[in-house]
Amino acid sequence: MTTHPVLRLTGITKRFGTTLANDAISINLAPGEVLALLGENGAGKTTLMSILFGHYTPDAGTVEVAGVQLPPGKPRAAIRAGVGMVHQHFSLAANLTVLDNVMTGTESLWRLKSSTGAARAKLLSIAERFGLKVNPDARVGDLSVGEQQRVEILKALYNDAKILILDEPTAVLTNLEAETLFATLRVMAQSGLSLIFISHKLNEVMAAADRVVVLRGGKVVAERMASATSKAELAELMVGRRVARPVREAAVPGTVLLEAIDLDVGRRLSGINFAVHAGETLGIIGVSGNGQTTLGHLVSGLARHTGGELRLFGQPINHTSVRSLIEAGIGRVPEDRNEEGAIGEMAIWENAVLERIWEFSRHGLVDRHAARQFATKIIDGFDVRGGTPDSRTRLLSGGNMQKLILGRNLQNRSRILVAAQPTRGLDEGAIAAVHTRILEARRAGTGVLLISEDLDEVISLADRIQAIVKGRLSPPIPAEQADARMLGLMMAGDWPQDGKFAHAS
């Protein structure tokens, strides 16, 4: 490349304790380029960007913006040099307007009057230039997640960012919103901005980036032009070995195990219908915050329905509790394994039996021998690495903790498995392991209710798919007929009200 790089990272090294988070990483960014930083959890992507942005001080290495070296550990200097960052978790004040949010921190505190007029003009001209449509007077709390992200980007641009860093920008978006975002990124790149986006999703890296830098174990392992690589190659580079997610094979579903008929849960779920058959996976796809948590809680015994009917093995049930559902044979994988799934400070064996303690106790006394044996069986049978029955659960990695949670449910052959976001935050290897277990359970006749935000996951695991939007469920479509485009429409709430898809018969 003959053009002078706008950003040059040289030999960035950062060590946390014994782990080397970044190992002599060097990256250049050309003007008008979209660079994807691809890597698994813990590959060092976020650390690297935090160093670039001045949140962390590197142990070694330098950051140069347009040929000028940035002082380490000074976010202000990075902002002034034109580096803007859009965090995965937005830093917006919900009760302020878009304009207020954008202006925050840009004016001196000693000015008596803020020049709202000039700010509004500047904001509108930026929005115009990059096609980021937004109403400056809307309250941020009233905006959709996609719009809020637009505000975050505008905030960075308002600060005259020339280099924009986006940390996992699509994590909270529907795929339609994501496509819109990528189009915007293109426009921004064409007008001379340079962009880095961090991701572990192969699809979007292929779709949006010019160039891909793959990080693994804190090192740059490869650099590819997006036009000259493939998803398969990137996956292998990212994981370091060939990883194939298992694929669902066709199966004939059995009887209906769990069925909801016009079911309400307060105002959070209204009039939903679904049926889980034996030996079948029903996928519920949707963007986070549309009622998935409530749905998961309903079938886990934590929430009760207020209207309609819930049928378990054909029998209507009115009073559900955690215990009654577990005794009926429902296995539950909660959406937040650290908050709900396991207690880090308790031993692995305790976490293995806590939700079914009545099976491992007599007259109120815990049968610790049987409980430890149960834990050992899970550890062996589900390949939980990094712990013994007596070690603390927090020592397990996310993937191993998830295997423990799956194991305690599947060890005794649950008839129904509720898996809420089962691979959220896991890396490619662990995802493959979790998917294998879910498919195994399905093959053994378990009915699986998969609640997920991950399109690829739902498409590869589910036999039938329903979308969840604002507490309502779409009618199911067979997985064979689902493609990303169609699911995207469904996730946006676009389905016929008569309950049938015109071309789904």
Partner 1 sequence: MRLERRAHRPLVLVLLAPVIAIMAALAIAGVLIAMAGAPVLEAYRLILTGAFGTRLGFTETLTRATPLMLTGLAAAVAFRARVWNIGAEGQFYLGAIAVAAVAATVFSGWPPYLLIPAALMVGAIAGMVMLLVPLGLRLRFGVDEVVTSLLLNFVVVLFVSMMIEGPLKDPLAFGWPQSIPVGPEAMLPKLIDRTRLHIGLVIAIVIAVLVYFLQSRTVFGMQSRAAGLSPTAAVFSGVPLAKTLIKVACLSGGLAGLAGAIEVMGVKGYVTTDLSPGYGYSGIIVAMLANLHPIGVIAAALFTATMFVGADSMGRALGIPSYIADMTVSLSLLTMLVSIFFTQYRIRR
Contact positions vs partner 1 (CB under 8 A): 17, 300-302, 321-323, 326, 332, 334, 339-346, 350, 354-355, 357-358, 361, 364-366, 368, 391, 395
Residue closer to partner 1 by CB (options 102, 303) is 303
CA 234, CA 433: separation in Å to the nearest integer? 20
To the nearest whole angstrom, how small is the minimum distance from the Cβ of residue 58 to partner 1? 16
Reading the block at residue 131, the tokens are: 């096609």
To the nearest whole angstrom, how small is the minimum distance from the Cβ of residue 182 to partner 1? 36
To the nearest whole angstrom, how small is the minimum distance from the Cβ of residue 15 to partner 1? 11
To the nearest whole angstrom, how small is the minimum distance from the Cβ of residue 404 to partner 1? 13
3-state helix, strand, coil in the chain (%, to 5): 35, 25, 40
To the nearest whole angstrom, how small is the minimum distance from the Cβ of residue 335 to partner 1? 10
To the nearest whole angstrom, how small is the minimum distance from the Cβ of residue 423 to partner 1? 19
Residue closer to partner 1 by CB (options 339, 498) is 339
CA 96, CA 14: separation in Å to the nearest integer? 37
To the nearest whole angstrom, how small is the minimum distance from the Cβ of residue 38 to partner 1? 30
CA 294, CA 264: separation in Å to the nearest integer? 10
| Nearest CA among 320, 312, 305 for reference residue 272 | 305
Residue closer to partner 1 by CB (options 355, 457) is 355
Residue closer to partner 1 by CB (options 256, 346) is 346
Residue closer to partner 1 by CB (options 5, 387) is 387
CA 314, CA 330: separation in Å to the nearest integer? 15
CA 325, CA 18: separation in Å to the nearest integer? 44
Residue 170: partners with Cβ closer than 8 Å, 6 or more residues away: 177, 178, 181, 199, 201, 204
Residue closer to partner 1 by CB (options 210, 340) is 340
CA 386, CA 367: separation in Å to the nearest integer? 24
Residue closer to partner 1 by CB (options 109, 365) is 365
| Nearest CA among 118, 115, 135 for reference residue 127 | 135
CA 350, CA 265: separation in Å to the nearest integer? 32
